[in-house]
């Protein structure tokens, strides 16, 4: 499956800020938030959720079909009770599961807490390129393609191709055009 992340809406970094979607004046999503939305999870169900298993699936009309898509892609799996759980349990086998994405999107310091180490001058560009490469590699290991773009036309074309509407993206681009 192919996923596209629109960088201007990509939220990453900072403890407690890597969520599927955060509704601030500048709406942001983590890479899993983009993927879940592109699989059909409604935007309102992404807001404030930490991972795919924490989405309120019971309120989604075609819940069973959506859960099946998410399970087939490896983002969730059903537990013994049939409830969605995070695929992070597979991380123990070091198989490149999606739980490995959490530290990549929330790298505040070496251990996730406290002050970060000193950074080189071009750290931001290096860090973003490395983060994108690592996320791309993890998605690839799971049989998926993920593309990062700054081009709203590329993102919109992908949404059109898969038949998904992104109201947050539309509002953001309309606001920029009107400004």
Domain locations along the chain: 2-115+123-178
Taking the mean position of all CA atoms in its chain, how far away is CA 36? 7
Q: For residue 137, give both structure tokens.
A: 């590699």
Instruction: Copy the structure tokens of residue 121.
Output: 């001058």
pTM listed for this prediction: 0.76
Instruction: Give pLDDT tens digits for 120-140.
Output: 566 566 678 888 888 888 888
Q: What is the pLDDT of residues 12-24, one digit of tens each?
A: 755 445 577 887 7
Q: Which residues contact 101 (CB under 8 A, 6 or more apart)?
A: 30, 31, 32, 135, 138
β-pair partners for 78: 84
pLDDT tens digits, residue range 47-99? 888 777 778 777 788 888 888 888 888 777 665 445 555 444 333 233 344 55
Do 88 and 79 form a contact (C-beta atoms < 8 A)?
Answer: no
């Amino acid at each position: 499956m192919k996923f596209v992340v629109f960088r201007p809406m990509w939220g990453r970094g900072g403890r407690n800020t890597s969520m599927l979607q955060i509704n601030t004046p500048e709406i942001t999503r983590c890479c899993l938030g983009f993927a879940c939305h592109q699989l059909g999870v409604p935007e309102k169900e992404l807001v404030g959720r930490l991972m795919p298993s924490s989405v309120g699936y019971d309120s989604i009309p075609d819940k069973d079909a959506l859960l099946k898509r998410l399970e087939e892609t490896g983002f969730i799996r059903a537990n013994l009770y049939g409830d969605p759980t995070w695929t992070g349990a597979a991380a123990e086998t070091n198989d490149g599961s999606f739980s490995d994405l959490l530290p990549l999107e929330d790298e505040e310091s070496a251990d996730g807490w406290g002050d970060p180490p000193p950074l080189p001058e071009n750290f931001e560009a290096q860090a973003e390129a490395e983060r994108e490469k690592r996320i791309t590699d993890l998605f690839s290991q799971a049989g998926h393609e993920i593309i990062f773009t700054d081009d709203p036309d590329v993102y919109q074309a992908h949404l059109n191709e898969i038949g998904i509407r992104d109201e947050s993206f539309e509002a953001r681009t309309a606001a920029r055009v009107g400004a």
